[in-house]
Amino acid sequence: MKNYGHLLEGTGFSKPQVQAHLKLYEGYVKKLEEISRRLEQADRADANYSFGEYSELRRREPVAYNGVVLHELYFDALGRKGATRPDPSVKEKLAEGYGGWEEWLKDMKAAAGSCHGWALVVQDPLRGKLTTNLVQSEHHVGLFANTPIVMALDLWEHAYAIQFGIDKGEYLKAFFEALDWDVVRHRLSAVDMTVGMGSL
Ligand SMILES: [Fe+2]
């Protein structure tokens, strides 16, 4: 489990909001540990489509697994409010994927209005560009396969309701102010945008 104690101050998110969110993240880490432990012991001979311990553990494993991974992608990219700005290379890459910087911002707002769950900015290897992947209902439902994640925006109510109530607009503003753009730039530089280019 990663230590995100530094996020309790200075991000622009309130302490109760961050504390509640970190507690939830810890819950996913513990559940993933429990599932992993129980899978070692589960009787493979009892696997069954309707019900079986092994089957249920494997079916629920992606919820805990992605719950951990997505929250770490989210928390890893948060920092002090206003500490970083998107540099031209970041703006250029996002603009390439979405047809413009403003278009990217509009797409993020549209994604936020479309789901409770996650809005992910991913490298789409089929179309050779950045795109948005909505993951909703649970942490694994709708997740594109084989698409490196550049940015993870948590749109579950627990991410903002303590501080902002139902005002997603204020949450989005706070998220982008706390976003560590250096992390986004690093992730963008790590993805190979030529992979799969032209296959669709
Ligand atoms: Fe969350």
The answer to whether residues 58 and 44 touch, using CB atoms and an 8 Å cutoff, is no
- Output Rg (C-alpha) for the chain, integer angstroms: 18
Task: Report the separation in Å between the CA atom of 199 and the middle of ligand 1, taken as the mean of its atom positions.
Answer: 34
The answer to whether residues 191 and 148 touch, using CB atoms and an 8 Å cutoff, is yes
Token couple for 26: 């810890």
The answer to whether residues 177 and 81 touch, using CB atoms and an 8 Å cutoff, is yes
Task: Report the separation in Å between the CA atom of 91 and the middle of ligand 1, taken as the mean of its atom positions.
Answer: 26
Rounded to 5 degrees, φ, ψ at 32 are: -65, -40
Residue ranges with CB less than 5 Å from ion ligand 1? 154, 156, 159
> What pLDDT, on a 0 to 100 scale, did the predictor assign at position 183?
97
> What pLDDT, on a 0 to 100 scale, did the predictor assign at position 140?
86
pTM for the structure as a whole: 0.95
Token couple for 61: 């494993």
Task: Report the separation in Å between the CA atom of 159 and the middle of ligand 1, taken as the mean of its atom positions.
Answer: 5
Contacts of 190 (CB under 8 A, 6+ apart): 148
State the residue for tokens 């589960």: 42
Residue ranges, the chain, pLDDT below 70: 193-200
Task: Report the separation in Å between the CA atom of 194 and the middle of ligand 1, taken as the mean of its atom positions.
Answer: 32
> What pLDDT, on a 0 to 100 scale, did the predictor assign at position 139?
87
Task: Report the separation in Å between the CA atom of 154 and the middle of ligand 1, taken as the mean of its atom positions.
Answer: 6
Count CB neighbours of 124 within 10 A.
21
Task: Report the separation in Å between the CA atom of 75 and the middle of ligand 1, taken as the mean of its atom positions.
Answer: 9
Write out pLDDT tens, residues 142-153. Answer: 999 999 999 999
Q: 41, 33, 29, 39: which is closest to 4 by C-alpha?
A: 29
Consecutive H or E run containing 115: none
